Amino acid sequence: MTTDQLSMFEDDSAEASKPAPKFKTFSVSLSRTIVSPAEKIFDRWLIPTFVGNWMFGEHLGNEKVVDLQNEVRPGGTFNYLIKRNGKEVLHDGEYLQIDRPKRLSFSWRETAKKNAHKSKVSLTLDPQEGKTKLRLSLQIDQSLEYYGEEIKQQWAERLKTLSALLSK
């Protein structure tokens, strides 16, 4: 991602005009207060180098980052290739809303889950006296409900790692 891409979303707060998913979902919500400005947290979700430091890697188990690509703009896509337990797993999706530094939403799919439909991830950042309250909401395809607790734990661990990296 180039510096130009960062400026592409600074003033765009409109949700991409996409129809709602036509599959049943269940919700997972998490929140965490991080001692860091909202802008810094927001950028950690979009810049591949930073994404690779907290969203994936050995702190989540037997994972290694292979390749991280994204096109940061509403309608832009991302592809994160990870090697997990010796198998390549692709995480991909599309940016739906980018409202820096308040709100980010994107579709999300992980190829390791059989017949995985794209889920929706929504992030809200609320600055609070030198800290930021991060709220994460996941709308996940009903077919993945069996993995619900695992998905929640995985995202909780990711947020814990993000918080630790930003609090240094």
Query: 82: domain CATH number?
Result: 3.30.530.20
Q: Would you say residue 69 has pLDDT above 50?
A: yes
Distance (Å, whole) CA 80 – CA 67: 6
What's the total number of domains in the chain? 1
Q: Would you say residue 2 has pLDDT above 80?
A: no
Q: Would you say residue 135 has pLDDT above 80?
A: yes
Q: Mean pLDDT score of the chain, rounded to an integer?
A: 87
Range of the domain at 39: 3-166
Confidence of residue 114 (pLDDT cuts 50, 70, 90): low
Q: Looking at residues 57-83, what average pLDDT do you find?
A: 92
Q: Would you say residue 167 has pLDDT above 90?
A: no
Q: Looking at residues 121-146, what average pLDDT do you find?
A: 95
Distance (Å, whole) CA 151 – CA 27: 11
CA 154 to chain centre: 12
